[in-house]
């Protein structure tokens, strides 16, 4: 991506993957992309898309219709945004609030309605840039916990620890980190989730097993609370539905992994587990 942006001919050469069941739509997109010298790869089936990404072909940005046959596009988009870390642009015929909500919540960079207009295609590289910027910020945040802030431990051991006293800051679980955490838990299944494996799947530099273990403990407590809440005839719990909403993974799906395997993907997970 950095290579792409540093390229003097800038947005020319943008590598686009377009996924849509409708060939006509793909051809239209291809025409527009060619006009701006973007390299476009067309896919009209879920398995084609998965195979292309499986081969580690790299793309700068993905266009996808959320209503693909034989595929849960939202889970797919979540995978692409978190693991491949490229922006995803949804393109659908409807523009209901719930559709847009689902798309953005699973990580899409923006939501467009079909048919796409040329200007939208022309400037879609902005999402690549934005993704890179926020990514860097995220790295800084995580790195900062290695070098920053101090704790008032010990009295005279300042000499002893000397220049090594880079005390770590308290880790803040940003929404991005938490989403990544949820993603990892989803891959493993809640019951099979263990801190070490979660950490491996999250693959966030600077993050420790202890961090994940702590977060997992908190996460389980929140889940238990919300479960207990819905069951018995609880009166008016003061925090009923608002505060814990973001803790719940609305995409939770028990046979999620199975679906991926059926689609021919998911081998990256197996590689991790080996």
Partner DNA sequence: CGCTAAATAT
Partner DNA sequence: CATATTTAGC
Confirm or reject binding of residue 155 to DNA (CB under 7 A): no
- Single out the residue of 210, 228, 240, 250 in contact with DNA (rule: CB under 7 A): 210
The yes or no reply on residue 194 touching DNA (CB under 7 A) is yes
Unique residue bearing structure tokens 């295609």: 121
CA atoms within 13 A on the CB side of 256: 22
The reply on whether position 272 binds DNA by CB under 7 A is no
Q: Which of 52, 84, 190, 197 binds DNA (CB under 7 A)?
A: 197
Cβ 208 to DNA shortest distance, Å: 8
Question: Other C-beta atoms within 10 Å of 265: how many?
Answer: 21
206 scored as a contact of DNA (CB under 7 A): no
Tell me the window of 61-69, 158-166, 195-203, 261-269 that interacts with DNA (CB under 7 A): 195-203
Angle at 1 between CA 272 and CA 199, to 5 degrees: 25
- Binding characters for DNA, 213-252, by CB under 7 A (x = yes): xxxxxx-x-x----------------x---x---------
When asked if residue 211 is in the footprint of DNA (CB under 7 A), the reply is yes
Q: If we measure between CA atoms, which residue out of 206, 209, 216 comes closest to residue 181?
A: 216
Q: Least Å distance between CB 219 and DNA?
A: 9
Scan residues 70-99 and list those touching DNA (CB under 7 A): none
Residues 13-72 within binding reach of DNA (CB under 7 A)? none
Determine, following the binding rule CB under 7 A, whether residue 152 of this chain makes contact with DNA. yes
Q: Where are the alpha helices (DSSP H) in the chain?
A: 2-6, 23-35, 46-54, 73-79, 97-105, 118-122, 125-147, 158-161, 175-188, 195-202, 209-230, 256-263, 267-273
Q: How far apart are CA 116 and CA 63, in angstroms?
A: 11
Size of the site for DNA (CB under 7 A): 25
Q: Cα dist. 258→48, 180, 189, 272 in Å?
A: 18, 20, 11, 16
Where do contacts with DNA occur on this chain (CB under 7 A)? 145, 151-152, 168, 170-173, 194-197, 209-211, 213-218, 220, 222, 239, 243
């Amino acid at each position: 991506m950095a290579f792409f942006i540093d390229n003097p001919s800038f947005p020319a050469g943008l590598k686009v993957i377009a996924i849509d069941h409708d060939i006509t739509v793909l051809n239209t997109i291809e025409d527009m992309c060619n006009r701006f010298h973007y390299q476009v790869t067309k896919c009209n089936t879920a398995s084609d898309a998965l195979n292309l990404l499986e081969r580690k072909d790299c793309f700068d940005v993905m266009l996808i219709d959320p209503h693909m046959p034989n595929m849960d596009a939202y889970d797919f988009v979540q995978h692409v945004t978190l693991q491949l870390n490229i922006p995803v642009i949804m393109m659908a015929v409807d523009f209901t609030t719930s559709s847009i909500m689902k798309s953005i919540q699973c990580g899409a960079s923006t939501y467009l309605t079909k048919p796409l207009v040329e200007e939208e295609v022309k400037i879609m590289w902005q999402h690549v840039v934005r993704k890179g910027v926020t990514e860097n910020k995220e790295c800084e945040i995580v790195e900062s916990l290695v070098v920053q802030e101090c704790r008032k431990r010990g009295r005279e051991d300042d000499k002893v620890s000397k220049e090594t006293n880079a005390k770590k800051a308290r880790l803040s679980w940003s929404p991005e980190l938490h989403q990544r955490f949820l993603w990892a838990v989803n891959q493993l299944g809640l019951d099979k989730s263990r801190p070490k494996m979660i950490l491996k799947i999250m693959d966030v530099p600077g993050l420790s097993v202890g961090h994940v273990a702590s977060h997992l403990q908190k996460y389980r407590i929140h889940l238990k609370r919300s479960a207990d809440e819905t069951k018995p005839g609880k009166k008016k719990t003061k925090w009923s539905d608002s505060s814990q909403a973001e803790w719940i993974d609305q995409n939770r799906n028990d046979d999620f992994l199975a679906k991926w395997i059926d689609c021919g993907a998911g081998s990256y997970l197996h590689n991790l587990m080996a």
